[in-house]
Structure 1
């Protein structure tokens, strides 16, 4: 039986750049759904895939509107009228590349789009063949994908984390933070690992499952006191996924010459006001070293990093169970599912399983 090759696809494009939270409905809606976008004819080296999974990442908010000028951004941003981008896993249905054949699963980290069908460049896509026990394809969108690579490179390379260090990780129940906690506690063996999360239930998971020595609920009215109590010897390394008030408070708990690795600032992505840091002079007074980084800086180290992470899974040091929130949905629901990230609606990596 011959598989019918689609010629059109449903696809979300960027309709308006938001100044605050993305708008999901009405004339000012951030995204627009097109129901019959023509698919281009395949060229040599390309493949046509049916999307199986979307990677939902808070960082995509900066792809559509950021305080950073587009020419200074680390990847191409999404212009008005262009398809919304994200990481995807696709099932290949047609290929003009020897690298892939129909039926294969392929991963693209960040050049996929919110579409039911998509044409991808084979050389920019990774095959997902036979996997070790306990490893699922979706893990390559999270713990074994950009999230895990950012966690590893931020701790090892940007912050130079050592076993004798006290490490604090914000958004510790998120996609990157949940892996960072495990790397710090179980692979590096840091003296003390403290997570920061938004609910008591998430903090319990960060401690009991991921291995943090302590986890603090930043929504608690005693958060500032709890942080001071948890860090009597102050902090060597802060892995920052939050920005905003949490970063401001963390500046007061850093040791002299302490390291801050800045991976993200999720608390600020939907904030239309400039980020205010009252404790900024702590950077001077305590000679704090702040380093922004992205995992793309370390692509030459990816094979070695993945080898170590896969080895940690085999040894039981890296836990994947419970580290994904997978939502089954149709393409029409994708903007709303992605937007849940900003209200803490996920534990670990957020992924959409696309229904057709």
Structure 2
């Protein structure tokens, strides 16, 4: 096949503020452009060209869009919006020994049809270059950063042990559902209480690992949560949400319980407020509240991949319906921003993946 000469690309034209995301229309935060494709050359011997096949949609991207955090998005520049994704290698620079033409690689790539860049240190060939054992989307969800986040949050941050009890917020999300399944079905949790935003999501979670799932939109949420946890309280809390759900969970923790702060999706579009009452609960219950990010744990990827793959094959982790929402954007590249923005409207179950090409 001949190499492409042009690529559709989305760039960020201004930072996203507390007024929320504008994914389309004349005041959109994103601009669709067409840019020439540059090939790896003697001037860029460490670069590769990939065709972007599938991209990950993650709530934390909004933090990148708030001001170019870690150079993920550079406002007003021609740099494509960054995202985790899977690409097919079309060309490699002369100094690139890790990848070859035809490889499917996972890396930080872009909202683009084609992307020429220098691979990051954490880039790898999907499934070790072997034929794919699961759908491509699985390698962007459970077998990628979402699953790795759940894995290291439980094992490294919470140091979760068999027989302990756990509360999981955002439990129907891309990370949360893996936490629920891994804690109960692999690590041997005595009780897992999941928190989600609908009756259907709660029912799904109870089918796949949660002992009890509670709808945070219920008028009786606080009482239903306390009843689900029980008078003894929970040993650990894996929080993906923050806000009022976080506030409601803390009084249900045991003394010296551990809290892993993974995400704050309820606050990403809000200024939020400091809650002195919550601070006092942390103090009185002597809780260990620990923030973590998967970026500190990429060295765990090989162990995680083996353990998680084995758990999927043994049936301990379910990867079927409910674990991901796959949106087909082949021929509909312009739909990328609106698909991503759907994360903040509860439109996804599990991981939200956009498929751009075959």
TM-score by length of 2: 0.91
1:96-111 equivalences in 2 (<5 Å):
96=93, 97-108=96-107, 111=108
Task: Note the C-alpha offset of 1:269.
Answer: 0.4
Correspondence 1:79 to 2:77:
no
Measured in 2, the distance between the counterparts of 1:231 and 1:316 equals 26
Q: Secondary structure at the match of 2:356?
A: strand
Deviates more, 1:292-301 or 1:165-174: 292-301
Aligned equivalents of 1:197, 1:206: Cα separation in 2: 9
**What whole-Å deviation, never above 9, does each CA across 1:183-228 have from its counterpart, x for those lacking one?**
11011111000111111111111111x2111111111111101001
Alignment partners' CA distance in 1, 2:203 and 2:131: 30
Q: Is the 8 A contact 2:16 2:62 kept in 1?
A: no
Task: Note if contact 1:19-1:272 (Cα within 8 Å) is conserved in structure 2.
Answer: no
Written as runs of structure 1 = structure 2, the 5 A alignment for 1:137-148 is: 137-148=136-147
Gaps of 5+ in 1: none
- Kindly provide the CA deviation profile for residues 39-72 of structure 1, in whole angstroms up to 9, marking residues without a partner as x: 2331323221111101000110111117xxx7xx
Question: Which secondary structure state, in structure 1, belongs to the residue aligned with residue 277 of structure 2?
Answer: coil
Asked whether the 8 Å contact 1:248–1:280 carries over to 2, the reply is no
Aligned to 1:116: 113
Structure 1 segment 321-336 matched on structure 2, within 5 A: 321-322=320-321, 323-329=323-329, 330-336=332-338
Q: For residue 278 of structure 1, give the secondary structure of its aligned residue in structure 2.
A: helix
Per-residue CA deviations over 1:80-104 (Å, capped at 9, x if unaligned) read 1232110111122222334333332
1:44 is aligned to: 45
3-state secondary structure, aligned to 1:306? helix
Match of 1:5 in 2: 3
1:131-152 alpha-carbon deviations (Å, 9 max, x no partner) = 464x233222110110111101
1:164 Cα shift? 2.3
In the TM superposition, structure 1's runs of 4+ consecutive aligned residues that sit over 6 Å from their partners are: none
Q: Verify the 8 A CA contact 1:248 1:277 in the aligned structure 2.
A: no
Alignment of 1:77-226 (within 5 A): 77-81=72-76, 82-96=79-93, 97-108=96-107, 111-122=108-119, 124=121, 125-128=123-126, 129-131=129-131, 133=133, 135-208=134-207, 210-226=208-224
Contact 2:24 2:338 in 1 (8 A): no
Task: Give the match for residue 63 of structure 1.
Answer: 64
Q: Is the 8 A contact 2:72 2:81 kept in 1?
A: no
Q: Per-residue deviation at 1:277?
A: 5.6
Of residues 86-95 and 192-201 in structure 1, the stretch that sits farther from structure 2 once superposed is: 86-95
* Normalised TM-score (structure 1): 0.91
**Local SS of the residue matching 2:71:** coil
CA contact (8 A) 2:52 2:357 kept: no
> Which segment drifts farther, 11-20 or 233-242?
11-20
How many Å separate the matches in 2 of 1:275 and 1:213?
Answer: 32
RMSD: 1.8
Q: How many residues align?
A: 343
Does the 8 A contact of 2:235 with 2:253 survive in 1? yes
Aligned CA distance change for structure 1 residues 311 and 132 (closer, same or farther; 3 Å): farther
